[in-house]
């Protein structure tokens, strides 16, 4: 497992998971000369070579296979907490979203920010459509925007619930018409594309799911190698993670064991396991087949709020 705590940069242990801490007063982070003091999101490149730690207000890039505490690069342009980070499928560029109200694109082969989009509200979540040409962002005011990277503009805006923050977005790996947005009221909104369209700019409402009574802090659709089974995981402030069958959005399992808010979750590359991160200072490994809690990762003294998995390369683009 790769873990991050007060001691410094993320370190590799047994290649299971990766986590970060948040103090009880709400400040997130790690101490140390090279570590970022705020870490809101962790993401590993598709080839599992590099780790991005999204902080306040920068992004640090680390070599996963190196023991050096020094980041390979630091990306500076945001002016507030970076809440979302991710990579294009071949790892050539990175995208980010921040509480400064912007979505940015970074070429990993060149210095500086290459593109910037104004969301006009604090951005909580950003995902890249599998077509690699559109970013979808969700913000604190409840807006969902589609950013067309070819046209270099916003091509669509949605507001599922006015003044209800969109906390998390997820899109099916093959672009098979499913996009899910989760909000502060425990609701998931599901859309699909109109048949025959080639972009994400035409949404058709598919389902409204009252998944939890508390906040949904993360929603995540299962990966490609999980097929033909397709699941939606929702992590909540109620301390549970629920697994939904995407076919009819019926509840398959409720994963219980965490004592506080569950901030993040990530599937293994084959969809057989789920890692979760919680304010109870633990990360947990779950069996997707049985719902059993297979292992509890302890050692942090502050809340664990984000995780990423290093378990093999993702399928190619």
* pLDDT by 10s per residue, the chain, length 317: 444 433 333 433 333 334 444 433 333 332 222 344 678 999 999 999 999 999 999 999 999 988 888 999 999 999 999 999 999 999 999 999 999 999 999 999 888 899 999 999 999 999 998 889 999 999 999 999 999 999 999 999 999 999 999 999 999 987 666 899 999 999 999 998 665 455 556 788 999 999 999 999 999 999 988 888 899 999 999 999 999 999 899 999 999 999 999 999 999 999 999 999 999 999 999 999 999 999 999 988 888 999 999 887 666 66
Q: Phi, psi (5° rounding) for residue 256?
A: -120, 145
The residue to which tokens 């979808």 are assigned:
136
Please report which helix (H) or strand (E) contains residue 204, including its range. Answer: strand 203-210
The burial class, CB within 10 Å (0-12 / 13-18 / 19+), for 174 is: exposed
- 135 lies in some domain: no
- 241 lies in some domain: yes
Please give the model's pTM, rounded to 2 decimal places: 0.87
Range of the domain at 228: 216-316
Nearest to 20 by CA among 227, 316, 7, 141: 7
For residue 68, the SS3 value is: coil
Domain count for the chain, please give it: 1
What the block records as the tokens of 196 is 């025959």
Let me know: does 209 contact 191? Beta carbons within 8 Å.
Answer: no
Let me know: does 310 contact 292? Beta carbons within 8 Å.
Answer: no
- 129 lies in some domain: no
> Beta strand 134-139 with 144-148: parallel, antiparallel or unpaired?
antiparallel
- 279 lies in some domain: yes
What the block records as the tokens of 274 is 């789920």
- 5 lies in some domain: no
- 289 lies in some domain: yes
- 272 lies in some domain: yes
């Amino acid at each position: 497992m790769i873990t991050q705590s007060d001691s410094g940069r993320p370190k590799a242990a047994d290649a299971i998971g990766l986590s970060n801490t948040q103090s009880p007063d709400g400040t997130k982070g790690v101490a140390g000369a090279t570590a970022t003091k705020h870490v809101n999101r962790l993401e590993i490149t598709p080839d599992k070579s590099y780790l991005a730690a999204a902080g306040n207000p920068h992004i640090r890039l680390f070599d996963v296979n190196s023991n050096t505490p020094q980041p390979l690069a630091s990306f500076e342009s945001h002016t507030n907490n970076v809440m979302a980070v991710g990579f294009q499928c071949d790892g050539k560029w990175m995208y980010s979203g921040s509480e400064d109200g912007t979505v940015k694109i970074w070429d990993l082969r060149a210095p500086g920010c290459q593109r910037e989009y104004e969301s006009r509200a604090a951005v909580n979540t950003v995902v890249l459509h599998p077509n690699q040409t559109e970013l979808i962002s969700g913000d604190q005011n409840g807006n969902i925007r589609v950013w067309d990277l070819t046209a270099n503009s916003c091509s669509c805006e949605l507001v599922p619930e006015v003044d209800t923050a969109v906390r998390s977005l997820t899109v099916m790996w093959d672009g098979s018409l499913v996009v899910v947005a989760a909000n502060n009221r425990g609701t998931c909104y599901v859309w699909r594309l109109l048949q025959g369209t080639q972009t994400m700019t035409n949404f058709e409402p598919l389902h409204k799911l009252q998944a939890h009574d508390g906040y949904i802090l993360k929603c995540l659709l299962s990966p490609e190698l999980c097929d033909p089974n397709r699941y939606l995981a929702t992590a909540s402030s109620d301390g549970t993670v629920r697994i939904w069958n995407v076919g009819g959005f019926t509840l398959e399992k409720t994963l219980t064991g965490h004592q506080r808010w569950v901030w993040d979750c990530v599937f293994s590359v084959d969809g057989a396991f789920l890692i979760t991160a919680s304010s109870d200072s633990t990360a947990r490994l779950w069996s997707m087949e049985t719902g059993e809690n297979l292992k509890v990762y302890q050692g942090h003294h502050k809340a664990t709020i984000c995780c990423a998995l290093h378990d093999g390369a993702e399928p190619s683009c």
